[in-house]
């Protein structure tokens, strides 16, 4: 599986990635929330994007491509820890785009996250890349791929399952994305 975003989309803004350890959830391996090892004292703020780094096989030669995938957002911040609400939380919602054409949709979190509100007159296909398009997140962060597409129960929209390139319980490290603000020299006006 290779997560890919169309080259026609604008590039992501410059981001700094702050690494954090994911504290153990043993014996409860819930995927909807995680406690991480950085917080307010390290500059973490509520609403910041949380990503993991993954490797996927990209050719028959056994090469691996490294990338990042959005897994959630900082929900609560304490002095030296923070709680991350993942896309597996039923409270998680995010405007997304799908595929090369950037078809708009809404990602609804939960134990089995799904795409909703996909216009029924557009074509999304299994394997199309899903990426962030909400104002509160960096634009274009890959999330997963379209799984099975079906009509919604009201027959007004399409919806789809999501296939992820990872198993969250296998990860011990997460990165919190922070904007890197570049200042321009004053022109004296």
- Mean pLDDT calculated for residue range 116-138: 92
Q: Is the pLDDT of residue 36 over 90?
A: yes
- Summarize the confidence of residues 88-104 as an average pLDDT: 95
Could you list the beta-strand ranges (E) of 60-172: 64-77, 82-86, 93-98, 103-108, 114-119, 129-132, 142-151, 157-163
Q: What is the pLDDT of residue 16?
A: 84
Model confidence at 13, pLDDT cuts 50, 70, 90, reads low
User: What percent of the chain has a predicted confidence (pLDDT) above 90?
Assistant: 61
pLDDT at res. 63: 41
Distance CA 114, CA 146 (A): 9
CB 161 within 8 A of CB 143: no
Joined together, the tokens standing for residue 151 give 């009509």
Whether residue 12 has pLDDT greater than 50: no
């Amino acid at each position: 599986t290779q997560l890919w975003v169309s080259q026609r989309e604008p590039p992501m803004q410059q981001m700094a990635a702050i690494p954090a350890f994911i504290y153990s959830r043993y014996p409860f391996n819930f995927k909807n929330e995680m406690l991480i090892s950085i917080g307010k004292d390290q500059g973490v703020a509520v609403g910041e994007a949380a990503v993991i780094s993954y490797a996927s096989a990209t050719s028959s030669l056994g090469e691996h491509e490294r990338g990042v995938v959005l897994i959630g957002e900082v929900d609560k911040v304490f002095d030296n820890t923070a709680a991350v609400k993942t896309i597996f939380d039923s409270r998680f919602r995010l405007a997304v785009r799908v595929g090369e054409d950037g078809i708009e949709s809404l990602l609804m979190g939960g134990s089995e996250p799904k795409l909703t509100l996909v216009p029924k007159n557009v074509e999304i296909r299994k394997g199309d890349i899903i990426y962030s398009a909400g104002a509160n997140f960096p634009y274009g962060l890959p999330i997963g791929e379209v799984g099975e597409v079906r009509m919604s129960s009201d027959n007004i929209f399409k919806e789809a399952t999501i296939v992820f390139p990872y198993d969250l319980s296998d990860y011990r490290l997460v990165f919190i994305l922070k904007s890197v603000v570049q200042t321009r020299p004053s022109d004296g006006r």
